[in-house]
Structures are given as C-alpha cells and as structure tokens.
Amino acid sequence: MAEHSRIVILDFGSQYTQVIARRVRECQVYSQIVPYHTPAKEIAKLNPKGIILSGGPSSVYAKDAPHPDRGVFKLGLPVLGICYGVQLMAHFLGGKVEHSPHREFGHGQARVTRKCPLFAGLGERMDVWNSHGDRVTKLPTGFRIVATTANAPFAAIEDAKRKFYGLQFHPEVVHTPRGRELLENFIYDVCGATADWTMGSYIEEMCANIRAQVGADHVVLGLSGGVDSSVAAALLHKAIGDQLTCVFVNNGLLRLNEAETVQRVFGEHFRIRLKYVDATARFLRRLKGVKEPERKRKIIGNEFVYVFQDATKQLAGGKDSKFKWLAQGTLYPDVIESVAIGGNPAALIKSHHNVGGLPKNMKFKLLEPLRELFKDEVREVGAQLGLPREIVQRQPFPGPGLAVRILGEITRERLRVLREADAIVVSEMKAADWYYKVWQSFAVLLPVKSVGVMGDERTYEDTCAVRVVESQDGMTADWVRLPNDLLARISNRIVNEVKGINRCVYDITSKPPGTIEWE
C-alpha cells in the first residue's frame, strides 16, 4: 500500500470526532482516529503530518478527564486542538482553563485580530459554532491570541514556532460555514499534507482491515436491499469473497420486484453467496387482523429476528460453526442516533428496529465496516464497487416495509393494490427525472372508501395517498411541489390502472408535525 499523507485525530469523546475525520477525508488526506491515550511513540510510528485533538464532553481539570500522553506535544508535529482540545493544550503547556460563567453555545462570530496561517484568505470576521462551558483564561508561554469571540477572548490561539494551534469553536460542523477552509489551511499549509488519498484507496484499506479482523472465519450479513446493507455486502465480498454469506429475508412486505432485483444483483451479478428466505406466509399470518401501527412494527421486528435466527442457525449448523461474525451496515449517523435515542426515550417516536435490533444471545461478533462513514460516502463506496445506481441512489425504505403504508389490516390483496400503485409512482418519478432528486416518493393505501364513476358505472373503492418529500436526514421534511402535470399523470395512472383504487390524493403535510411514513 502506498504511503499517504496522514493526519491523526486523537479522540476525546466528542460527538464530532467522526465529522473531523470526514472533513480531513474531504481534503483527500487520509485521517486516522486513535484513542486519546495512544502513546506518543505509537502515534509517531504512524508517521502523521499533523495531529488534531478532538473536542470532548469533559472538563480538563475533572477527576476522570481524558488526558493524552504528554509526549504528543514533543513530537515536533503541528497540533490543532479543537474545543476540549485547545483547553488540553492550555492545561498541559502551562496556561489556565476555567469554568466560564457564560456558557457559549450556538452561533457566534469570531474576529481575527492577528495574521495567522489558519485564517489565511478567510477575512476578518467569521461565523462560528460554539459549544463549550470551559474556556482558556491564561495562555501558555509562546502562545498568542489570533481571534476572539464575544465570550471567549481566546477563541483562536497559536504558537507559530511550534506550529500549535487551538480553536475554542468547532470548525468541522456545517454551522461554521468556512470551517472547511480553515481545516484545509491547517492540513495543507501548516502540516504540508498532500491531497493524495481517494475513496479507492480507502476501500483497499477497509478491505485489508476486514481481512485482518475476520481471518479465516465466516461472516453472515442480513441483506435488506437498502443502500447500507447492500454496500456492506459488496465491500465484504470484495474483502473476503465466499467467506461472506448474505441472508435476504422476504417478509412479504416488499415493493414490486424488490426480491427479484436483490437476487439478480447480488446472486447473479456479484455471485455473492445468498440465502434467500421467503417468509411471506409467516409474516402475514402473524399480522392477520392487526391494525394498530406500533403493534404491526413490533410483530414485524420480532418476526424478523426469529426468521433471521432460524436462517443463521441453519447456515451455522452447530456449535463449532465457522460463522463467527454478524455484519451490519451501520453508518456513523446511526451510531450517533441510537446513542441519542438510548439516552432519551422521548426521542423514540416510532420503533425502528434496524439498529441494535438483533438479540444479545446470538453468539456472533459484530462487524460494522461502514461505521465511520456518512451516507454520501457510503454511496460513493457502493458506486466504486460497481453497484448499480438503482441500488446506490435508492430512496430510504422502512424496515417494516409496506406494512406501515397500508393503514389498517394487511392482506395479500391490499399488498397487491399498494405494490401496483407504488410502482406507478416510482416509474413516473423516474421518467420525469424527479426520483433521484427527492428524499422519498411513494404511495400509501388508506382504508377509506369513496364513491367514483368509471365509464357508466358507479364505483366505491379505496383511496391512495401519494407522498413525496424532500429532506436532509429524515428528521425534518417538507412535501415536494411537484409539477402539476406529473401529479396528474401519477393520479390518472393509479386510478385507471390499479384495480381497487378510485381516488388519489397528494399529501401536503410537512414533518413536523407530520411524519414521513403514515404509521
């Protein structure tokens, strides 16, 4: 493997550590996160061009505060401390940190008071994002102030000789609009790193790591056909070939042709070992007569676990199974979100069962090769691995599938009706070049009958709602102002072509107060 320029990030537990890593990757420089206590000698072996100290939730003077090896400041390397990181620098190098009476949180403005390579080309004022309770109150020898904010006279500091820099605010978050340029200044100009790293090289590294981790063991992956598990499958397959087996469960609640597409792409095209389980009958039996949304979700979540367990038991075939690993397509935002949800029960508005949903008693070690990546990076990995656009760019689809889009009881007939209507929405959205521009576009089947007229006949049939939303992350959303002629085509086709629907409505509710899915 060619030697890339590398930036090492010491992780002090900030929720933004991975965001810093991502920003460095965006500069096409390899970033490596290491635990805060990694010995300086080990860091030196990685031969980095510079070191970034992440933020963190502690106070530097707290009893259990995470402290780095002092040697980190003696490696002769540039160091950038962010938030907790700058407080550590001050604390370790002879300055002073105190609890601030004015907690700074949210938007602020930094005024650059002295010329400094970090702020080169960024002007005199810069919008910044703060999130800290402590602040530096006395500088260590050799340091000077380069920027201030209203509540932090030491918003940015430097020791130009030793190339030590510290920022009280967070340059890595999007709320610091020019933070990326600031990080570029550090990475390229202060550290002298070169933009020599690509997603292709990252894929090679991830594969090498996977191989080192699993050795000769076998891995099982639950493939849903969604972006994350699909990319995980393609990546693992590249890394370990036939040591990977994917289990694809058809719960009977999938969209039209979904099961066929997954089998075609992964089984035929990639030649991945694929265990296809058609559990339609099992799921529908359990869902018979169930109308209540949360109960539907619980039943589907539980049933999935049983089916998946049965399938892996069959694969594993006993105690000395070669299947030691369970892979999941967990992404970085899932990690953050499930932590947030775990800490705050009120955040659990609907029970999502994908993260951490599998039972603890499954005797697998967990393999999460995409854990450091963000959604768009995962899509890029997928594209580079040769996954088709229809998979890599596909819209999110809920784990409980069409069950949460059929209001009321789920029957085979109602599934048929919704599948046909949904396929029309998808095909018209694609034909009009809108499908990949929106977050989600789908049909919902309502248990609401209304009167219509078709030819000379009176009809009395169900209603279909069409939902098309734009969103950044699914947390908030707005309905899309689609062109009227596209809406007209969708509506005409659904009412004319789908037996069982005689009325089509467009959902114009944003989230909040609505949710994206209807159940």
Alpha carbon distance 305, 222 (integer Å):
10
The site that binds ligand XMP (CB under 6 A) totals a number of residues, namely 15
Residues 6+ apart with CB under 8 A from 361: none
CB closer to ligand XMP out of 4 and 352: 352
What is the closest distance, in whole angstroms, from the C-beta atom of residue 440 to ligand XMP in the complex?
6
Q: Considering only residues 117, 357, 388, 396, which one is a binding residue for ligand XMP as defined by CB under 6 A?
A: 396
Binding map of ligand XMP across residues 450-479, x = CB under 6 A, - = no contact:
------------------------x-----
- Contact between 65 and 57 under an 8 Å Cβ cutoff? The reply is no
Q: What is the dihedral of CA 290, 294, 299, 300, to 10 degrees?
A: 110
Q: Is 172 a catalytic residue?
A: yes
What is the closest distance, in whole angstroms, from the C-beta atom of residue 473 to ligand XMP in the complex?
9
- Residue 399 as a binder of ligand XMP (CB under 6 A): the answer is yes
Beta bridge partners of 135: 98
What is the closest distance, in whole angstroms, from the C-beta atom of residue 416 to ligand XMP in the complex?
21
- Residue 293 as a binder of ligand XMP (CB under 6 A): the answer is no
Q: Candidates 170-178, 181-189, 361-369, 393-401 — which segment interacts with ligand XMP by CB under 6 A?
A: 393-401
- Residue 369 as a binder of ligand XMP (CB under 6 A): the answer is no
Q: Candidates 334-342, 350-358, 379-387, 430-438 — which segment interacts with ligand XMP by CB under 6 A?
A: 350-358
Q: Is 175 a catalytic residue?
A: no
Alpha carbon distance 138, 497 (integer Å):
74
- Residue 354 as a binder of ligand XMP (CB under 6 A): the answer is yes
Q: Candidates 180-188, 346-354, 407-415, 425-433 — which segment interacts with ligand XMP by CB under 6 A?
A: 346-354
- The two beta strands, 218-222 and 244-250, are parallel
- The two beta strands, 50-53 and 79-82, are parallel
CB closer to ligand XMP out of 273 and 352: 352
Q: What's 272-309 look like in SS3?
A: CEEEEEECHHHHHHHHCCCCCHHHHHHHHHHHHHHHHH
> Residue 101, preceding bond cis, omega within 30 degrees?
no
C-alpha 110: how far from its chain's center?
30
Buried b (16+ CB within 10 A) or exposed e, 157-167: bbbeebbbbbb
CB closer to ligand XMP out of 369 and 400: 400
Q: Considering only residues 258, 334, 380, 517, which one is a binding residue for ligand XMP as defined by CB under 6 A?
A: 517
What is the closest distance, in whole angstroms, from the C-beta atom of residue 519 to ligand XMP in the complex?
8
Q: Is 170 a catalytic residue?
A: yes
- Residue 350 as a binder of ligand XMP (CB under 6 A): the answer is yes
Helical residues (DSSP H) of 185-292, grouped into ranges = 199-214, 227-240, 258-262, 280-287
Q: Considering only residues 31, 130, 176, 440, which one is a binding residue for ligand XMP as defined by CB under 6 A?
A: 440
Helical residues (DSSP H) of 373-474, grouped into ranges = 375-384, 389-392, 412-431
What is the closest distance, in whole angstroms, from the C-beta atom of residue 425 to ligand XMP in the complex?
14
Q: Give the interface with ligand XMP as residue ranges (CB under 6 A).
A: 349-350, 352-354, 396, 398-400, 440, 474, 511, 515-517
Q: Which residues participate in catalysis according to the annotation? A: 83, 170, 172
